[in-house]
Amino acid sequence: MIVQQLSRLIGDVVSFVESAGASQKVIADLRKGEKCLDAFSSMSIEDFSQFLAYSEEYHRTGAIASLVAAAGPKKTTRSKSPGKPKVEKLTGESGQTIALERFKLLLERARRKELTDAILDEEMNWLDKALNKDDIIDVTKKLSITGVKTKGEALKTLKARALSQMEDTLNTTFG
Contact indicator for 12, 25 with CB cutoff of 8 Å: no
**pLDDT at residue 66, as a whole number:** 56
DSSP state of 71: T
**pLDDT at residue 75, as a whole number:** 46
**pLDDT at residue 71, as a whole number:** 47
pLDDT below 50 — which residues of the chain? Answer: 71-82
What is the span of the domain harbouring residue 140?
A: 84-175
Instruction: Evaluate whether residue 129 is within a structural domain.
Output: yes
Instruction: Evaluate whether residue 58 is within a structural domain.
Output: no
**pLDDT at residue 134, as a whole number:** 94
**pLDDT at residue 150, as a whole number:** 95
Instruction: Evaluate whether residue 115 is within a structural domain.
Output: yes
Instruction: Evaluate whether residue 172 is within a structural domain.
Output: yes
Instruction: Evaluate whether residue 117 is within a structural domain.
Output: yes
Instruction: Evaluate whether residue 21 is within a structural domain.
Output: no
Contact indicator for 30, 14 with CB cutoff of 8 Å: yes
**pLDDT at residue 174, as a whole number:** 55
Q: Buried (b) or exposed (e) across 115-129, using 16+ Cβ within 10 A?
A: beeebbeebbebbee
Name the domain count of the chain: 1
As a whole number of angstroms, the distance between CA 164 and CA 125 comes to 18
- Phi and psi torsions of 19, nearest 5°: -70, -20
Instruction: Evaluate whether residue 77 is within a structural domain.
Output: no
Instruction: Evaluate whether residue 7 is within a structural domain.
Output: no
